[in-house]
Structure 1
Amino acid sequence: MTRLAGARALLLALAALAAATPALAAPRDPAEGRMVQTVRDEHERHVKLLEDLVKVNSGTLNLAGVERVGRLMRAELEPLGFTVRWVPMGATKRAGHLIAEHRGYGRGKRMLLIGHLDTVFEPDSPFQGWTRRGDTVEGPGVGDMKGGLVVMVAALRAMQAAGTLQAADITVVLTGDEEKPGSPLALARADLIAAGKVADLALDFEGLAQSGGKDIGSIARRSANSWTITATARSGHSSGVCTESSGCGAVYELTRILDEFRRELPEPNLTYNVGLIVGGASGAVNGEGSEGSATGKANVIAAQAIAVGDIRTLSNAQEDRVRTRMRAIVGRHLPRTEAKIIFDDTGYPAMAPTDGNRALLAALNEVNRTLDLPEMATGDPAGRGAGDIAFVSSIDGLVGLGLPGRGSHAPGETADLGKLDVQAQRAALLMTRLSNTPRPRR
């Protein structure tokens, strides 16, 4: 083989290798390169941390388990220079919250990182333990949201290794009751709200949204509030039902209301569910609206009927508007009936999409370009449930920096370890850049 032919062969081989090798990141500076490499080097350490977290049952009502997960997170954050404190929540009958503060020397944006320590799987759930099958891991809370806790730690460790954490002004709030908030909610979220008042932006480390195999950016979350309708009517023999003297009864009145909701309320980003109905000669539901009882006979006009449901909106203005329409429908009344609707204001507010939130997603997409990753489109907020970040929606926010997965809140819940490094690299670079962005004057 001639020297020229050999050189050509080498070039062809290198081209083939490049085509077969995933594109590597092209960081802006050595610090970003160090963060990218640190995340890669510590991959198995992060997987082990996730395993340790998942193996601790931290169902919301397992107060000791929630506290134990808090201690595991404290052990990760304190060596990074965070001042960590535990806020007991005995007054709300919950374990408490972990709050960690890192006061940087820079003048960049002050960041609030949000997550939660609890899961929906209590100790009596048959779904416990940890199973790994390649890049798929299965276990209670592995995706919602212990995977997000690990992404947060991995990103902060990468920043420390690169020397960019020193300048960053970061507060971490990990609630212990996101899945089943304590009451009163104003007390349960007081510390989160206080942290939001001194931050410039919030980053939520719940699971990454995906659609059609593509990563999606989340800049909004809908509200979650409940309502109860109680209808009453004149009872009597069924032979007189829907006559002028007897009226149609409470069940017909409740049915009218719910059907008019179905026909008259629809609009974008709004859902209203009916989760429980009881009705008859008598009816009652428990204080949580999760159980009900009724008595009655086929030949007796129903005197009472109760429905419990929820309403989810994209903005608080939409919530107010829809509530007004619901009250108007309830107030029309069939003859000889009465009805009232009560809204429970202890639920979750909305996080509306804003220009500031869009700007955060644009900043994340700048990171994606650096990492040679596809741009993330804006996701449909209906694809996510309510979340703690909505309590600080007065500041800019971005949701979904945790791990993607399947089957959240159900036995068999999984998370995708193939996204662990990517999510941690995204978060580390994003937080570093934000920490170098001048904060607004107040």
Structure 2
Amino acid sequence: MIQKIAEDIYSRQQEMLDLLRQLVLIQSGSHNKEGLDRMAETMAGILAGTGMDSRVVPFTHCGNMVIARTPKAGEQKGLLLVGHMDTVFAADTSFDWFQEDETCAYGPGVLDMKGGLVVGVFALKALARFGMLQDLAVTFLCNSDEEVGSPYSRGLIGELSQKNKMALVLEGGGLDGELVVGRKGKIGLQVQVWGQGGHAGNFSGSSKPSAVVEAAHKVLSLEELNSPPRIQVNVGRVQGGTRPNCIPEKALLEVDIRYQDTGEEKVLQDRIQSILKTSQVPGTSCTWEVVSSRPPMPRGKQGEALYGLAREAAEELGIAIGQEVRGGVSDANFIAAMGLPVLDGLGPLGDHDHSPSEYILKNSLTQRCALTAACILKALHQDKGT
């Protein structure tokens, strides 16, 4: 049956590309509520066509979201499918087009992750065409704030995780077909350094209370925490001062921290707080705020078992896959923290996401769609003991 479903999916590549074009041309940067609300209406309508109970979940401070459920999902725990509708590109971006050549498709979010939404939609459509979807407990969440840390959807993800037994996440796959079996945890910090303003020619003493000089000390100390591949610290943005003849009164640091497992988090946080609490320049001080965080998605037996099902499906379909642990985070991190086995990276293959060079390999749309449909079937049938 998996082969028949795959053949049906492979015959629909142009339909998939048409939907991809439609979604990509809806501008849906994380802060573009109007565009995200259009995405939500579009996705809800499409998913309703599969026979699922599909509804738009309204939000005030971010784009609306979509939850679609099969009838069985209301009766028993099953499989949670997750994809996000937002992109990193702001509403005023000039990267607002969709293009194709013989092998690739290009556009904002084509890989991250409107291509993944297309994979999820057509996997469910195929199962519905073969009369299978109605007998499977599947929930599909399309959220609107993943690229900014899922601050509003995090609770929804947790709630839906409690109502399911396993999850598949539709982020893009690796260029060699890799699926994601683990992800690092992340902490995002915003650090404000305070000094004492004044005329650069008038200060006295051996050290002036410059926020920029203190910030420089903190940058070097934070960067010294790097211990790749397990711990990665990056001071990605530095801002401070006003004019060359003014002692800087304030400076801003934005810091991205990645770590391998929960055991490292407490030690790392203690070391970071020690750096931030200690001033090297007299007359300066510091405040900080955690602006985003995600727990790690560790490799484990349950996740490996889910990958094993994907490997079986890939062998039946003649598709090459592999596995990888990524430094980047996704909603799979939150799902794993709820104790669910989760497999990520089921979206199409591509590269250069978060840039105007973002692309996918067109033939990977159908391949990943067939793989996703097969994974849903195998996971749920094995869970039933059939």
Q: TM-score, normalised by structure 1?
A: 0.77
Residue of 172, 183, 189 corresponding to 1:227: 189
What is the CA distance between 1:277 and its match in structure 2? Answer: 2.5
The aligned residue for residue 234 of structure 2 is 273
Tell me the matched-pair count: 382
Kindly indicate whether residue 58 of structure 2 is the aligned counterpart of residue 88 of structure 1.
Answer: yes
Aligned-partner Cα distance in 2 for 1:247–1:59: 43
Cα deviation for residue 70 of structure 1 reads 2.1
How far apart are residue 387 of structure 1 and its match?
Answer: 1.6
Letter in 2 for 1:70: A
**Which residue is 1:162 aligned to?**
130
> 2: distance between equivalents of 1:81 and 1:136?
32
Cα displacement string for residues 351-385 of structure 1 (whole angstroms, at most 9, x for unaligned residues) = 23222222211211111121223341x21312xx3
1:326 aligns to 2:272 (yes or no): yes
Alignment of 1:372-411 (within 5 A): 372-376=318-322, 378-382=323-327, 385-393=328-336, 394=338, 395-411=340-356
Q: Quote the residue 1:202 is aligned against.
A: 167
Question: Which residue, 258, 262, 267 being the options, matches 2:219?
Answer: 258
Counterpart CA distance in 1 for 2:221 and 2:180 is 32
Q: 1:251 to 1:70 in 2, by over 3 A?
A: closer
1:101 deviation in Å?
Answer: 0.9
Q: Which has more radius of gyration?
A: 1
Deviation (angstroms), 1:399: 0.9
2:65 paired with 1:65? no
Q: Is the 1:224–1:386 Cα contact (8 Å) retained in structure 2? A: yes
Q: Matches of 1:361 and 1:409 in 2, distance apart?
A: 27
> What is the alpha-carbon distance in structure 1 between the residues aligned to residue 92 and residue 74 of structure 2?
47
The residue correspondences of 1:361-372 to structure 2 (distance < 5 A) are 361-372=307-318
Q: Residues 22-33 of structure 1 correspond to what in structure 2 (within 5 A)? A: 31-33=1-3
Q: Which residue of 1 aligns with 2:105?
A: 137
Evaluate the alpha carbon distance shift between residue 167 and residue 241 of structure 1 in structure 2; reply closer, same or farther with a 3 A threshold.
farther
1:227 alignment partner AA: L
Tell me how far 1:330 sits from its aligned partner.
3.1
Quote the RMSD (CA, aligned, Å): 2.9
2:256 paired residue among 288, 303, 310:
310
Structure 1 residue 113: deviation in Å?
Answer: 0.5
Per-residue deviation, residues 74-103 of structure 1 (Å, max 9, x unmatched): 23221322111111111x2x2210011113
Shift of 1:112: 0.7
* C-alpha separation in 1, matches of 2:205 and 2:275: 20
Q: Provide the C-alpha distance between the structure 2 equivalents of 1:125 and 1:371, rounded to a whole number of angstroms.
A: 39
Q: Deviations over 1:93-141 (max 9, x none)?
A: x221001111338998611100012223344221223222123112222
Following TM superposition, by how much is the alpha carbon of 1:239 offset from its aligned partner in structure 2, in angstroms?
9.2
Asked if 2 retains the 8 angstrom alpha-carbon contact of 1:220 and 1:352, the reply is yes
CA deviation vs aligned residue, 1:198-241 (integer Å, no higher than 9, x gap)? 1111111111112xxx2112112333432233444577877987
2-side partners of 1:54 and 1:276: how far apart? 29
Residue matched to 1:101: 69
Tell me the distance in 1 between the aligned counterparts of 2:201 and 2:274: 29
Query: Using the alignment, how far apart are the partners of 2:191 and 2:33 within structure 1?
Result: 34
Distance apart, 1:72 and its partner CA:
2.5
- Report the 3-state secondary structure (helix = DSSP H, G, I; strand = E; otherwise coil) of the residue aligned with 1:137: strand
Which AA in structure 2 matches 1:61?
H
Deviations 1:416-442 (Å, cap 9, x if unpaired)?
1111221111111110011112269xx
Q: Which amino acid aligns with 1:147?
A: G
Q: CA 1:60 to 1:238, structure 2 compared with 1: closer, same or farther past 3 Å?
A: same
- Closer/same/farther in 2, CA of residues 36 and 100 from structure 1, 3 Å limit: same
Q: Distance in 2 between matches of 1:413 and 1:87?
A: 29
147-156 vs 97-106, which moves further: 97-106
Asked whether the 8 Å contact 2:10–2:367 carries over to 1, the reply is no
Q: Which runs of 5+ in 2 are unaligned?
A: none
Give the TM-score taking structure 2 as reference length: 0.88
Contact 1:265 1:325 in 2 (8 A): no
**Closer/same/farther in 2, CA of residues 428 and 241 from structure 1, 3 Å limit:** farther
Amino acid corresponding to residue 389 of structure 1 in structure 2 = A
Higher deviation after alignment, 349-358 or 75-84: 349-358
Secondary structure at the counterpart of residue 104 of structure 1: helix
SS of the residue aligned with 1:200? strand
Q: Is the 8 A contact 1:66 1:95 kept in 2?
A: yes
Cα distance, 1:239–1:71 mapped onto 2, change above 3 Å: closer
Is 1:54 the counterpart of 2:24 in the alignment?
yes
Q: Which residue of structure 2 aligns with residue 175 of structure 1?
A: 143
Question: Against the structure 1 CA distance between its residues 101 and 334, is the aligned structure 2 distance closer, same or farther, given a 3 Å change threshold?
Answer: same
Separation in 2 of the partners of 1:32 and 1:273?
A: 45
User: Is the 2:222–2:235 Cα contact (8 Å) retained in structure 1?
Assistant: no
The 1:329–1:238 alpha-carbon spacing in structure 2 relative to 1, beyond 3 Å, is farther
Native 8 Å contact 2:225 2:231 kept in 1: no
Greater Cα shift, 34-43 or 251-260: 251-260
Does residue 360 (structure 1) correspond to residue 306 (structure 2)? The answer is yes
Question: Could you tell which deviates more after superposition, 234-243 or 102-111?
Answer: 234-243
1:69 Cα offset (Å)? 2.2
Query: Structure 1 residues 134 and 249 mapped into 2: Cα distance closer, same or farther (>3 Å)?
Result: closer
In 2 relative to 1, CA 340–248 (structure 1 residues): closer, same or farther, beyond 3 Å?
closer
